[in-house]
Amino acid sequence: MAVIHRTTMTPTKLELLAAWLPAQPWYTATGVAPEPVRAGGFRLDDPEGEVGIDFMVVADASAEPPVAYHVPLTYRGAPLDGAGAGLLGTSEHGVLGKRWIYDATHDPVAVERLLALLRGEAEPQAQSVSDTPDPTVGTENPAAALPGPAPDAAPRTAHGPQGTEIRVEGLSAALSVTRVLRPDAPADGAAAVVAGWTLPDGTEHRGVFAALPPGTA
């Protein structure tokens, strides 16, 4: 189980995201600098204990109304070969030292764990509490027969205005990662991860975070 350290990060994740978000094709420009605030999310454990995996939600308070973005991140103690396009930056962690922070859709460990979740073989963890499952995260239409790529199998990641598509060897269809979260978006028969988030005004929502089309094998 991942250990959550109560410490500082310099720069913070929100500072890195404020600089990174405007360059993403799915980001809705507001004409001013984004103001990301925490809005929810969950974690998955790396069985090897090396990579932090955080399915983070931030709300851009510069938009009216605020827009909720799904920004899965991984935290590593060294650079990830071949994943430079997914690097948000580095941060000095008060306990662990220098961390390389990546868009998790480029990180093979995170992609493998997300597929394990869709198979019903991974347990979502609370975002800010150590060793605590998060029962609010659900999987609709789990794909039990889904093959699992090796954790070092490099994903082929493509970003577009509608979100991110990930192709991995052995899958007949792309894994779709939602970026702009839509309240109560239906899974439409797909194997889907569904979770919640809370906007700055306290409004709570649920929607699809990631999905695979029906029949994917």
Which of 49-58, 69-78, 124-133 is the least confident region? 124-133
- Which of these, 76, 96, 95, lies nearest to 86 by C-alpha position? 76
SS3 letters across the chain: CCCCCCCCEECCHHHHHHHHHHHCCCCCCCCCCCCEEEEEEEEECCCCCCCEEEEEEEEECCCCCCEEEEEEEEEECCCCCCCHHHEEEEEEECCCEEEEEEEHHHCHHHHHHHHHHHCCCCCCECCCCCCCECCCCEEECCCCCCCCCCCCCCCEEEEECCEEEEECCCCCCCEEECCECCCCCCCCCCEEEEEEEECCCCCEEEEEEEEECCCCC
On the question of pLDDT at 5 being above 70, the answer is no
For 138-191, write each residue's pLDDT tens digit: 999 888 777 766 667 789 999 999 899 999 888 888 999 999 999 988 888 889
The model's confidence at residue 96, banded by pLDDT at 50, 70 and 90, is confident
What is the per-residue pLDDT for 88?
97
Region 213-217 average pLDDT? 76
What is the per-residue pLDDT for 188?
84
What is the per-residue pLDDT for 2?
64
On the question of pLDDT at 206 being above 90, the answer is yes
Q: Please work out, in degrees rounded to the nearest 5, the angle formed at the alpha carbon of residue 154 by the alpha carbons of 142 and 78.
A: 110
Q: Where are the domains of the chain?
A: 9-212
Give Cα 76 distance to the centre of its chain.
Answer: 15
Region 68-91 average pLDDT? 96
Identify the residue whose tokens are 């975070």.
209
Residue-averaged pLDDT of the chain = 91
For 8-35, write each residue's pLDDT tens digit: 889 999 999 999 999 999 999 999 999 9
Region 92-110 average pLDDT? 92
Region 31-43 average pLDDT? 96
